[in-house]
Amino acid sequence: MTDGDCGKCERLLQGYLDRELTTYEVAEAEEHLNGCDYCRRRYRFEESLRVYVRTTAVERMPPGLMEKLAQLRTTDPGPASV
């Protein structure tokens, strides 16, 4: 493995995790990853980072918002005021 291979592997990282690579590119990345601790660590790191970003950046809907949204309904059988 050479620096050039690691550079190429790095460029395939996002597409690989997004499952957007061609079959050929996936095979290329995996062949390199099988023999390269350096890249394998970084792929795993990226994967766990994404999970972490997703879980930490998610904020649940505040209490009370659902009721406000339900009041916007036009078909709600509730109070028939206009």
Residues that bind another protein (CB under 8 A): 10-11, 13-14, 18, 20, 38, 41-42, 44-46, 48-50, 52-54, 56-62, 65-66, 68-70, 72-76
What is d(CA 39, CA 56) in angstroms, rounded to the nearest whole number? 25
Nearest distance from residue 19's CB to another protein, in Å?
Answer: 10
Nearer to another protein (CB atom), residue 57 or residue 80: 57
Q: What span, in angstroms and rounded, lies between the C-alpha atoms of 18 and 27? A: 15
- Nearer of residues 34 and 67 to another protein, judged by Cβ: 67
Residue 76: phi and psi, rounded to 5, are -65, 130
